[in-house]
Amino acid sequence: MFRFRRTVYCDNNATTQVSKKAQKAVAGLLGRCYANPSSPYRMAHEAAGILADARACLAKAVNAPPESIIFTSCATESNNSLRAIAPLLPPDKRAIIHSPLEHPAMLETLFHLERQGFSLIALKPDRQGRIGPEELERAWREDVGLAVCMAANNESGTLYDVKAMTAIAHARGALFFSDMVQALGKIPVDLLDSGVDYASFSAHKIHGPKGVGALYVREGAPFAPFMLGGHQEEGRRAGTEGLHNIAGFAAAAEDVPLLLAGAGDLCRRRDALIAALRKLAPDCVVNSPPAPECQPGTLSVTFPGKANAVLMGQLDYYGISVAAGSACNTGEDTPSHVLTAMGLSPEEARSTLRISLAHDFSDKDLRYVIAIFSDVLSGAGDTVTAVQPSRLTPEMLFAPDVFIIDLRRSLKTDYALKPLPNSRSFPFFSIGKHLDEIPRDKHILVTCEVGYDAPIIAYYLRRKGYRRLSFLTWGLLGWKLVRPELYARFAGGDGHAQGDG
């Protein structure tokens, strides 16, 4: 099979391509206006004016008064603001009710608050990640002072009725914080109408630059700054504003109406992809709810029995970038907390892909993605061999024509581990710099910790022209389970010297 390879980026919930307009705004400012907007002299007035215009521009995109917008370094920081806000809650209102499907930027903040003495109450989502206002009412407790729910989920695309939820919280004297990172540019965001007290945004999810976010604080809502220092942002967020990034954010926010206008087309292409996948793999399970309960471009889909890391590697080989619904890029064997909270088993979560499309995804891209999925799901795309852990024998380890790549990230820090015999250790993210150290005349076997990294690198090497490639499924920890004695002897854990050389 031969196909002309295209590059199709389908991971827009991770980040988006920076628009030409945002690029121009960033570059223009970097070269022109470098004065500190807080300085008193004339040169700084231009900077202060640009900052005010940018604030007004973002405020317009989310229908909020400009004074209620605080620029931050990213949405993670905006969510972390809760660490300074929560201590302002009255002593008898120190419970926080929240969606368990929040992004780690929010969830870890909540867990931190729990360690500080706040109690957490997790809401219950359904199988497609829905949490209705009635669930908030059901789980409510007298001591709740703050409710937290995102407006759109980054993994499933599920949307939440934050306006109704805010009304419930307010009726009970509590505050409401919504992470709206995945909502802006995908569905209309109207902060004044929603009534929320706090909301977070990120520029790089709407075709703006990375490294800039925003926090909305409703006029009159309790607030204390999280970042302490200077008096920037009216004393609400210390640190010199990154004016070039803020201008890029504003330029991207200006185009929010254009993104919203394209939502119908995006939805049609997403639905066409779902229909095609269901034909190709009748047992696949779509985890995202249908429109209008889902963001237009997001699709979470489980392919039972197929490891998402392998699918990712295969699709990547053909130029298609998608995400696995799990922490695969951390090298940890942790299935996605979002998918498991929705009721998927860890195995199902490890067989799940997230495909997130943007407005530049064309019908041609759609046809290409469907054609590649057809090959990959039918096995016609298999150009790399998967080695089951039970088949990794000493013979294979010591075969003279086998070159083993050991990708374990903990190899450097965990001294109980030892490199596999006949192997070389390479860094996952920069293996491309070491291709001249990987022989082309040998059979390459790629191994890693838990099975996520190896297929991705194996397919990467395939793209780089390597012919004889295999990867170890389920990683060396899978090998440890089925062949503990071999693992202890050759991969580590028991402190014995490496044998059978």
Q: 352 with 308: CB under 8 angstroms?
A: yes
What are the beta bridge partners of residue 417?
492
Our CB check for ligand PLP shows the closer of 64 and 183 to be 183
Our CB check for ligand PLP shows the closer of 213 and 492 to be 213
- Report helix, strand or coil for 79: helix
Our CB check for ligand PLP shows the closer of 337 and 462 to be 337
In order, the DSSP letters of 319-373 are TEE-EESB-GGGT---B-HHHHHTT--HHHHTTEEEEE--TT--HHHHHHHHHHH
Q: Which stretch binds ligand PLP (CB under 6 A): 114-122, 124-132, 179-187, 441-449?
A: 179-187
Q: Which stretch binds ligand PLP (CB under 6 A): 51-59, 68-76, 236-244, 248-256?
A: 68-76
Task: Give least dist CB 173 to ligand PLP, A.
Answer: 27
* Candidates 149, 267, 294, 328; catalytic one: 328
Q: Please report whether residue 182 would count as binding ligand PLP according to CB under 6 A.
A: yes
Q: Please report whether residue 74 would count as binding ligand PLP according to CB under 6 A.
A: yes
Our CB check for ligand PLP shows the closer of 298 and 423 to be 298
Those residues whose C-beta lies under 8 Å from the C-beta of residue 426, and which sit 6 or more positions away, are 405, 406, 407, 434, 437, 438
Task: Give least dist CB 15 to ligand PLP, A.
Answer: 8
In order, the DSSP letters of 406-475 are E--GGGTT-TTB-PPTTEEE--STTGGGGGGGS-SSSEEEEE-SSSSHHHHHHHHHHHTT--SEEEETTH
Our CB check for ligand PLP shows the closer of 143 and 161 to be 161
Task: Give least dist CB 340 to ligand PLP, A.
Answer: 17
Task: Give least dist CB 326 to ligand PLP, A.
Answer: 14
Our CB check for ligand PLP shows the closer of 108 and 316 to be 108
Taking the C-alpha atoms of residue 352 and residue 383, their distance in angstroms, rounded to an integer, is 21
Task: Give least dist CB 194 to ligand PLP, A.
Answer: 16
Our CB check for ligand PLP shows the closer of 68 and 76 to be 76
Our CB check for ligand PLP shows the closer of 132 and 211 to be 211
Closest CA to 266 of 228, 295, 297: 297
Task: Give least dist CB 56 to ligand PLP, A.
Answer: 21
Count residues near ligand PLP (CB under 6 A).
Answer: 12
- 3-state SS track over 29-46: HHHHCCCCCCCCCHHHHH
Q: Which stretch binds ligand PLP (CB under 6 A): 41-49, 175-183, 345-353, 399-407?
A: 175-183
Taking the C-alpha atoms of residue 154 and residue 231, their distance in angstroms, rounded to an integer, is 33
Our CB check for ligand PLP shows the closer of 105 and 217 to be 105
Interacting residue with ligand PLP among 179, 197, 241, 254 (CB under 6 A)? 179
Interacting residue with ligand PLP among 22, 101, 150, 404 (CB under 6 A)? 150
Task: Find out whether the peptide bond into 394 is cis, omega within 30 degrees of 0.
Answer: no
**Residues 95-114, mask of contacts with ligand PLP (x by CB under 6 A):** --------x-x---------
Taking the C-alpha atoms of residue 471 and residue 453, their distance in angstroms, rounded to an integer, is 9
Taking the C-alpha atoms of residue 429 and residue 408, their distance in angstroms, rounded to an integer, is 12
- Report helix, strand or coil for 268: helix
Q: How far is CA 318 from CA 55, 225, 315, 469, in A?
A: 41, 47, 5, 16
Q: Which stretch binds ligand PLP (CB under 6 A): 69-77, 214-222, 285-293, 314-322?
A: 69-77
Task: Give least dist CB 147 to ligand PLP, A.
Answer: 17
Our CB check for ligand PLP shows the closer of 356 and 422 to be 356
Active site residue 328: yes
Q: Which stretch binds ligand PLP (CB under 6 A): 48-56, 62-70, 174-182, 371-379?
A: 174-182
Closest CA to 102 of 111, 93, 114, 115: 111
Interacting residue with ligand PLP among 149, 181, 189, 456 (CB under 6 A)? 181
- 3-state SS track over 127-194: CCCCCCHHHHHHHCCCCEEEEECCCECCCCCEECCHHHHHHHHHHCCCEEEEECCCCCCCCCCCHHHH
Q: Which stretch binds ligand PLP (CB under 6 A): 72-80, 297-305, 314-322, 343-351?
A: 72-80
Taking the C-alpha atoms of residue 166 and residue 246, their distance in angstroms, rounded to an integer, is 29
Kind of pairing, strands 8-9 and 320-321?
A: parallel
Q: Please report whether residue 213 would count as binding ligand PLP according to CB under 6 A.
A: yes
Q: Which stretch binds ligand PLP (CB under 6 A): 70-78, 391-399, 430-438, 473-481?
A: 70-78
Binding to ligand PLP in span 297-326, by CB under 6 A? none
Binding to ligand PLP in span 360-419, by CB under 6 A? none
Taking the C-alpha atoms of residue 423 and residue 409, their distance in angstroms, rounded to an integer, is 14
Q: 428 with 453: CB under 8 angstroms?
A: yes
Taken in order 267, 268, 271, 272, is the CA torsion positive or negative?
negative
What are the beta bridge partners of residue 348?
none
What amino acid positions are annotated as catalytic residues? 328
**Residue numbers of the site for ligand PLP (CB under 6 A)?**
74-76, 103, 105, 150, 154, 179, 181-182, 202, 213
